[in-house]
Chain A
Amino acid sequence: MKKGFKLIALVCIFALLFTCLTLVACNKKTPEKIVRISTTTSVNDSGLMEYLRPYFEADTGYKWEISSAGTGAAIAAATYGNADVILVHSKKSEEEFVAGGFSYVVDGYAAERVSFMHNFFVLVGPSTDPARVKAVKNQSGTTVKDGFAAIAEHESTFISRGDKSGTHNKEITLWPESVGIVDNNVANIPEGIKGWYKSLGAGMGACLLAAQQQNGYVLTDKATFLSYKNASDGDRLPALEILWEEDSAMKNTYSILCVNKDAPFVSSVTGEALPAGSVKIDPEAAEVFLKWMTGEHASQLIAVYGVEQYGGSLFTLDSGYRA
Chain B
Amino acid sequence: MGSVFEKAGQLILGKDPLIGSILGTTMYMAVLSSLIAFLLGAIIGMLIANHNFKGKTVVKIILRTLMGLPPVVVGIVLYILFSNTGPFGALGLIYSVPLMIIAQVVLITPIAAGMTESSVASVVELCKPTLKGLGLSPLKRFGLTIFECKYQLVSVYLFAFARAISEVGAVQIVGGNILYKTRVMTTAIALNYNTGDFAYAVALGIILLAIALAMNLTAGILQLVARRRHDRV
A81 touches B85 (CB 8 A): yes
A267 touches B196 (CB 8 A): no
In chain B between 189 and 213, which residues have their CB closer than 8 angstroms to a CB of chain A? Answer: 191, 193-200
B12 at interface, CB cutoff 8 A: no
Interface size for B (C-beta < 8 A) is 54
**A-B pairs with beta carbons under 8 A, tally:** 145
Residues 1-32 of chain A: 1 if any B CB is under 8 Å from the residue's CB, otherwise 0? 11111011001100110011001101101000
Q: Which residue in B55, B98, B181 is a CB contact (below 8 Å) of A24?
A: B98
Q: Which residue in A29, A53, A231 is a CB contact (below 8 Å) of B92?
A: A29
Quick one: closest A residue to B4, CB to CB? A233
Quick one: closest B residue to A19, CB to CB? B36
A4 touches B83 (CB 8 A): no
- Kindly state the separation between the CA atoms of A142 and B99 in the bound complex, as whole angstroms: 53
A56 at interface, CB cutoff 8 A: no
Residues of B within 8 A of A19 (CB): 36, 101-102, 105
- Kindly state the separation between the CA atoms of A81 and B44 in the bound complex, as whole angstroms: 36
In chain B between 1 and 18, which residues have their CB closer than 8 angstroms to a CB of chain A? Answer: 3-4, 7
- Kindly state the separation between the CA atoms of A111 and B166 in the bound complex, as whole angstroms: 44
Residues of B within 8 A of A5 (CB): 53, 55, 59
B169 at interface, CB cutoff 8 A: no
A236 touches B196 (CB 8 A): yes
Known: A66-B179, A231-B197. A82 touches B83 (CB 8 A): yes
Q: Which residue in B39, B56, B80 is a CB contact (below 8 Å) of A269?
A: B80
In chain A between 80 and 96, which residues have their CB closer than 8 angstroms to a CB of chain B? Answer: 80-82
Residues 162-206 of chain B: 1 if any A CB is under 8 Å from the residue's CB, otherwise 0? 000000000001001111010000000001011111111000000
B218 at interface, CB cutoff 8 A: no
Dominant SS among interface residues on chain B: helix
Q: Which residue in B40, B83, B87, B89 is a CB contact (below 8 Å) of A15?
A: B40
Residues of A within 8 A of B56 (CB): 4
- Kindly state the separation between the CA atoms of A69 and B95 in the bound complex, as whole angstroms: 12
B92 touches A227 (CB 8 A): no
A224 touches B196 (CB 8 A): yes
A233 touches B87 (CB 8 A): no
Quick one: closest A residue to B1, CB to CB? A233
Quick one: closest A residue to B86, CB to CB? A268
B16 to chain A, nearest CB (A): 13
A228 at interface, CB cutoff 8 A: yes
Residues of B within 8 A of A197 (CB): none
Which one of A44-52, A169-177, A245-253, A312-320 is at the B interface?
A: A44-52
Quick one: closest B residue to A50, CB to CB? B179
Q: Which residue in A11, A47, A228, A268 is a CB contact (below 8 Å) of B47?
A: A11
B81 touches A269 (CB 8 A): yes
Top 8 nearest A-B pairs by Cβ distance? Answer: A67-B176, A81-B84, A4-B51, A23-B98, A1-B53, A80-B83, A4-B53, A268-B86
